[in-house]
Amino acid sequence: MRPFVFERPTNISAAVALVSSFADGRAPTQADVQFIAGGTNLADYMKLGVARPRRLVDLNDLSEPALRQIRISDGTIRFGALVRMGEAADRGDVKRHCPLLAESLKFAASAQIRNMASLAGNVLQRTRCEYFRETSWPCNKRVPGSGCAAMEGLNRQHAVLGTSDACIATYHGDFAQALIALDAVVDVEGRHGTRQIRFAKLHQLPGDTPDVETDLAADEVITAINVPFSEWSRRSRYLKIRDRESYAFALASAAVALDMDGDTVRQARIALGGVATVPWRARLAEEALVGKRLDQSAAETAADAAFAEAKPRRHNEFKVPLGKRTLVRALIETRDMKV
C-alpha cells in the first residue's frame, strides 16, 4: 500500500479546510485528497492501486450530531451523511413512509458491510467493472484516453443504458435508485460554502469523460441527503434480481413508487439499477403510465419505453429482457401493495 497522510478532523469546517489547503491555491483533485467514511469502497480501491489519494480525510470523528441522525419532519426525511446503511434500513419510520428506501438498503451488500458503510459513501461508490478494478487493463475511467477493455471484452455486468463509446461501466448502487426516484436533494459543503444538488444532477453520464463521475468538487463533502415523501410514497418498492439470493449486485433492479387513483396511475416514479451507467430515472416509462390503468400490458408498454434506447454489448444482451421484466414485475407488485 502506498504511503498517504491520514487526517482526522473533528468538525465539518476543519474537514473542508484540510481539503482546501493547497499552497498554490488551485482546486484540489482526487489524487490530492479524498474523504473516507466506512472505507468499504475506497479502502478496497486503494489496496488495488486504483485510488491513490495522497491525503485521506477521515469523516468518522466529525462531531456535528446531525451527521449521524435521521430526522423526519414536514414531508422530508433527512439522512445525515454518516448514518450507516444498516441503521437506515432498520428504521421503522423510514420503512413506513418509504418502503423503497429501506428495501434498497436491506438488499445491498452484507450485514457486516451495511454496519460499516455510510449513506454518503454508498451513493458515491465507484463502479465494480472488472477492468476498472485491475490496473493492468486499459480503462478510460481510470486512465483517461487509455481505451476501454470492457467494450469488446467480458461485459456481462455492464450497462445497456447511458453508455458512451468511452465507457459502459454500470453504476451498481441500490440506494441511489430509490433516491433518484424520490427526487432527493443532497447538501454539500466545500471551500466555496454550502450548496444543494438535486440527486439527479449528482452523477454524470460517462460521455467522453468517464473519469468525471459526479458534480462534486474534490473539496466538497456531502453532509446530508434529503428525501421528500408523502402519502403515496408508501406505495413503493425495490425489486432486485441477482445471480444469488443475497450478497450480490443487481443484474437488474427497479425502484418504483406509485401515486394511484383506484386502478389508474396518477403519477409514477421509476428508477432502474444494474443496467445503466448512472442512477437511472426512467422518465419515458413514467410518462407512459400516467392516466393509464395499470395492468400487465400497460406495464409492458412502460418497460419497452424504458429500454427503447438500450445498447447491449456481446455478453449483456440478456439485460434488456431482464430489465424489462424486472420493471413489469415491480410495477405489478407495487400496484398490489396493501398500504
Q: Which residues in this chain contact ligand SF4 in the complex, by CB under 6 A?
A: 127, 129, 131-132, 139-141, 148-150, 167-169, 210
Q: Judged by CB under 6 A, which stretch of 110-118, 160-168, 284-292, 329-337 contacts ligand FAD?
A: 110-118
Q: What is the number of the residue whose Cβ is closest to ligand FAD?
A: 121
Min CB(274)–other proteins separation in Å: 11
Query: In the range 178-237, which residues lie near other proteins by CB under 8 A?
Result: none
Residue 167 interacting partner from other proteins, ligand FAD, ligand SF4, none (CB closer than 5 to 8 Å by kind): ligand SF4
Q: Which residues pair with 139 in a beta bridge?
A: 148
- CA angle, 135 as apex, 130 and 141 as ends, to 5°? 70
Q: Can residue 166 be called a binding residue for other proteins (CB under 8 A)?
A: no
Given phi > 0 = left and psi -120 to 50 = alpha, else beta, which region is 168? alpha
The reply to whether 322 sits near ligand FAD by the rule CB under 6 A is no
Binding region for other proteins (CB under 8 A) out of 13-21, 76-84, 128-136, 281-289: 128-136
Tell which positions 77-96 bind ligand FAD, by CB under 6 A.
81, 85
* Grid cell for residue 22: 493547497
35 binds, among other proteins, ligand FAD, ligand SF4, none (CB under 5 to 8 A by kind): ligand FAD
Maximal CA-CA distance, the chain: 62
Residue 89's contacts (CB-CB under 8 Å, 6 or more residues apart) are 102, 105, 106, 114
Cα gap 34→24, rounded to integer Å: 18
Which of 9, 41, 106, 179 binds ligand FAD (CB under 6 A)? It is 41
Which residue number, 134 or 259, has a Cβ lying nearer to ligand SF4? 134
Q: Which one of ligand FAD, ligand SF4, other proteins, none interacts with residue 1, CB within 5 to 8 A by kind?
A: other proteins
Q: Which of 96, 232, 119 is nearest to 174 (CA)?
A: 119
Q: Which of 197, 248, 260, 284 binds other proteins (CB under 8 A)?
A: 248
Closest by CA position to 271, among listed 260, 262, 263, 280: 280
Q: Give the interface with ligand FAD as residue ranges (CB under 6 A).
A: 34-42, 59, 81, 85, 108-109, 113, 116-118, 120-122, 124-125, 173-175, 221-222, 249
